[in-house]
Amino acid sequence: MFIFKGGSRAVTRNRPHCLRRSYASRIEIPIPRSSNAIPTIESCPSPTCQCQEMPSGLEIEREQNINGTMPSYAEQVLISTGRSDWASKIETEEEGVLVKRLKHFLGPKGKYSDPYHNVMLTNSSFAPTDPPASQRETSRKPSSDSGSVPVTKYGGNELAHSSEASPPASAFLLPSFTYAPVIPTDAASVEALIKGYILPSQLHQSHDRLAREEKNVLLRQPETQRRIIGARQINEILVLICGHGGRDIRCGTLGPMLQQEFERKLERQNIPILRDPPVAEAVEINTDVEGYSPTARVGLISHIGGHKWAGNVIIYIPPSHKGNSLAGKGIWYGRVAPQDVEGIVTKTIVEGKVIKELFRGGIDRSREITRL
């Protein structure tokens, strides 16, 4: 995981160039907080059916109040890798081109660095979407070395060529509840993703002191969204479990166990589990029809902070799940054990109630942070 953020206050300096921004190393971000109209229960109900036993020997911290320990962020970019574990630093993965480019643009010295708009980069075990043949073109491009080299284009965007070619990536953007099935990983396309979907539509008030040109760099540009073909709304429930054994054995041990438990308990509630990668073409789903049944994806993700509170789980309930009071929100839980899964599925995913003893924090589509 990356979270690009600052710390306690901004510093105003004279800027001889209009695109030169200076911030203190730490900026305390005034975060809108709310707990209004969110039903809660104090503790997780005991399971009514058999579940896996909690492994012994995992040193889980159980004394600290974990309410408010969720890191503040404005957007989580959840990259589909089809793998269930990664190197300790996911940017060192050989196939992690999208992470590297996002970090380059969004990191502390990046072109789109904004300490008031924190972006979290996370790998997931979800398989990436295979782009359809109708969006994929292969041709040859002149080269001074070999005469010509193969060129691959997706939706008219040149991706890469020769031995340096990298396949497109897929990612979930949360809490925007957007899925981008085909993201070419060349620099121009990654910039289009950032400008079209990741940058804020409105800047923090601390940016009022910036020149118009500086503000325009940091603001979302919806017209660039056309470069990301097939991006669409997410309608399925997402259950994300830290299983990053390359960072910590506690999450590496508990993650796969919790994934199995969530899949079983969701299916007991007649919530189908989606295991195939999302298709590239958007499928119209009418969630307003009588008898509509939500679906869910359950996956392992890379480090999100707080290994000592394993298992760490994020539940995103889509806006289309209108019967749930948590629709459009992401809920973070810590210290989740296998015996807690049935209660989380029943109380949070089905009934829309937050379990206070497990609660680390929450976020909604307006980036309002929930603290209880």
The reported pTM is 0.86
Closest CA to 271 of 243, 231, 242, 235: 235
Spatial contact of 312 and 336, defined as CB atoms under 8 Å apart? yes
Give how far Cα 104 sits from Cα of 98, 175, 184, 222, Å.
10, 22, 16, 21
pLDDT tens digit sequence for 243-272 = 999 999 999 999 999 999 999 999 999 999
The span from the CA of 146 to the CA of 159, in Å, is 19
Spatial contact of 183 and 191, defined as CB atoms under 8 Å apart? no
Mean pLDDT by 10 residues, the chain (372 residues): 46 40 42 69 93 93 96 96 95 91 95 96 96 59 53 53 68 97 95 98 95 96 94 95 96 97 97 92 66 88 96 96 93 98 98 97 93 86
Return the pLDDT at 120. 97
Return the pLDDT at 125. 98
